[in-house]
Amino acid sequence: MDNYGFNIYQGKEYKGESYISEGVNEKEAPILEILEDKGEGKLYQLKLPDLKAFLKNKGYENFDEFIARQESEYFKSMKHIPNGYYYLYVIDKNGHVIMLVFGQENDSFPRLRKFPIHICFLKYLEILDLSHHRIKHIPEEIVNLQNLQYINLEGNLIEFIPDYLWDIHSWRYLNFQKIAYEKRGEIINIPKAIFNLNSLRNLKINYESITRIPSKIKNLNSLRILCLSSNKINTISEEIGELALLERLDLSNNNLTKLPKSIRKLKSLKECYLHNNQLTSLNKFVGNIPNLQKVFLSNNLFLKFPSSILNLKEISHLEIDNNKLIEIPKDIDNLIYLEVLKLNNNRLTYLPHSFGNLTSLKKLYLNNNQLKEIPISIQKLKVLNFLSINGNNLKHIPNVIEELDLLYQMDIDENQVKILPRAILNLKKLRILKIKTKSEEFKKWKIKFKLECEIQEINLILRHSTSDSNSTDLKWLKPWKKKKEKAETRLKQIISNLPPILKDLERKGTNVRFQ
């Protein structure tokens, strides 16, 4: 269930991130058991602190106590659940089912085509997730669920959202994203009844045809998350500024050309998604949002870097790919907490010297610009671990690159670099280096490889283009610093596996050179 961080993979042990809290006494802490319904009956356990963190992330925080059970009489009559599906449920201390999630192990299993009617008799149910199925109709019996606060129907084939859904007044979370709405393509407004839900904290709707955010949006004064992406919105009411508690605003994939001045009043806003619109500039009021940390502006029509961004003192993540930026302002170093910067697919020809003052920067993307050099000041980016600068006009890599002690991956494909500096060998954390050049130039590469160097391990990927546009990758694994005899043996193995164009690789002393 990747959607939530509960990971179930056909009965196999999950090899990724652990969701089991450490240092918690099982006898003292309640455990949520995740039952995989595929005939094996295998249980996955999630400690209470992790479950609370998950619910808080989803904007749902009002559970005080959980007691999970392996089985419940509520499910004995639900025989329609076939093998290949799993369900997750939480039972409160009184034995009532308060949370229910349906999913399928993977895409190869058929999905639910009907809303399971039995659910409508779980009158204490508060959280219901039926996302990514093939459900077309929401039954009227759902009004029995007067305690229901959270519903996720994302990715279904819902033909229409019925009015009786608004007879439930306890809504806090509504997700109707990516549904196949029957009136798709017509002008459809946000259902008026939604604006009466004063307790609503999370609203996600994309009909692909909403054109405006009306003034009644101010009624949703408890809203933390507003996601109206993938519509046709071109007008936003100034009343959106009344959403004082709003933390995340997603208006990506719309037709916006400007933002309302009242956006400056969103003092709680932390994340703003505006990519894939028609913005040519940002008004100065954006810079007055004090807590804004993530801004997404890719695929717009910016000719100049938005100056208002430079006033966002707390920003840590900025994406402004696929625009028409010609330069980066010198004041970019105002963004002292910036950790991720994406500037791919613009028209940049240089980076200002002040770029080196972005000392919190960890990931830098500069692909497909017109850069001719990397500024010397890059040596000050001491925490940079990822640098991607392919598709530019670089002719050399400066020796100061060796000052990037934490650099893990560097991608310099599709440039005009003829020689790699020996300084690269001093990057002790470097594991992936990607280079691509034309096959006729491939022999010209010169890499001085000192066998006694301190590098732990490098995956050196040298790619050469062929006439059929295929690539050949040379992966150089684990440069070693032990005995020279072992090094010579390893070197012979590498040479034997080289593509024909590199068979004339020559060894001289302790150096390896491409001729």
Q: What is the pTM of this model?
A: 0.73
Residue 17 covered by a domain: yes
Q: Round the average pLDDT of the chain to a whole number and report it.
A: 73
Q: Is residue 311 part of a domain?
A: no
Tens digits of per-residue pLDDT, 206-247? 877 789 999 999 999 999 999 999 999 999 999 999 999 999
Token readout for 205 is 């709707």
Structure token digits, residue 240 = 């959106």
According to DSSP, residue 26 is labeled T
Q: Among residues 155, 182, 209, which one ends one of the domains? A: 182
Give the CA radius of gyration of the chain: 28
Q: What DSSP letter does each residue of 45-69 carry, written as one string?
A: EEEHHHHHHHHHHTT-------B--
C-alpha separations of 390 from 47, 177, 375, 420, 514 in Å: 44, 35, 15, 15, 22
In the block, residue with structure tokens 């039952």: 35
Of 141-145, 252-256, 262-266, 427-431, least confident by mean pLDDT is: 427-431
Question: Residue 98 forms beta bridges with which residues?
Answer: none
* Cβ pair 189, 212 in contact under 8 A: yes
Average pLDDT score over residue span 452-457: 36
Q: What is the mean pLDDT of residues 481-504?
A: 46
The per-residue pLDDT for 81 is 39
Q: Which residue has the higher pLDDT, 361 or 50?
A: 361
Lowest-pLDDT range of 9-13, 63-67, 318-322: 9-13
Confidence of residue 282 (pLDDT cuts 50, 70, 90): very high
pLDDT the model gives residue 95: 64
Mean pLDDT of 441-465: 41
The DSSP string of 434-478 is EEEEEHHHHTT------TT------EEEEEEE-TTS-EEEEEE--
The three-class DSSP label of residue 508 is: strand
Q: At residue 48, does pLDDT exceed 90?
A: no
Query: Which pLDDT tens digit goes with each residue over 53-90?
Result: 555 555 554 443 333 333 333 333 233 334 445 556 66
Residue 275: its pLDDT value, please? 98
Q: How confident is the model at residue 130, as a pLDDT?
A: 87
The residue among 151, 182, 213 that closes a domain is 182
**Domain that includes residue 55, residue range:** 1-182
Please give the Cα distance from 335 to 359 (Å, whole number). 9
Could you give the percent of the chain with pLDDT greater than 70?
Answer: 62
In a domain, 224, yes or no: no
Q: Is residue 482 part of a domain?
A: yes
Quote the tokens at residue 270: 């932390």
Name the 3-class secondary structure at 357.
helix
- The stretch 449-456 carries a mean pLDDT of 35
Separation of alpha carbons 390 and 367, rounded Å: 5
List own/partner pairs for 293-298 with CB under 8 A and 24 or more apart: 293/317, 294/270, 294/318, 295/319, 296/252, 296/272, 297/323, 298/322, 298/323, 298/342
- Higher-pLDDT residue of 399 and 69 is 399
**pLDDT for residue 85:** 52
Last residue of a domain, one of 129, 162, 182: 182
DSSP codes, 108-146? TS----S--GGGGG-TT--EEE--SS------GGGGG-T
Q: Which of 84-93, 302-311, 331-340, 415-424 has the lowest mean pLDDT?
A: 84-93
Lowest mean pLDDT among 130-134, 199-203, 304-308, 310-314: 130-134
- Lowest-pLDDT range, 172-186, 370-384, 393-407? 172-186
**58 located within any domain:** yes
Higher local confidence (pLDDT), 468 or 135? 135
- Structural domain includes residue 381: no
What domain count does the chain have?
2
**According to DSSP H, which parts of 310-461 are helical?**
439-442
- pLDDT number for residue 57: 56
The answer to the question of residue 297 being in a domain is no
For residues 354, 357, 360, 365, the Cα torsion angle rounded to the nearest 10 degrees is 30
Confidence at 107, pLDDT banded by 50, 70, 90: low
pLDDT at 186: 52
Does the CA dihedral 134-138-141-144 come out positive or negative? Answer: positive
Entry field: residues in the chain: 515
Q: How many CA atoms lie within 13 A of 31 on its CB side?
A: 18
Instruction: Return the pLDDT at 63.
Output: 42
Assigned domain for 461 exists: yes
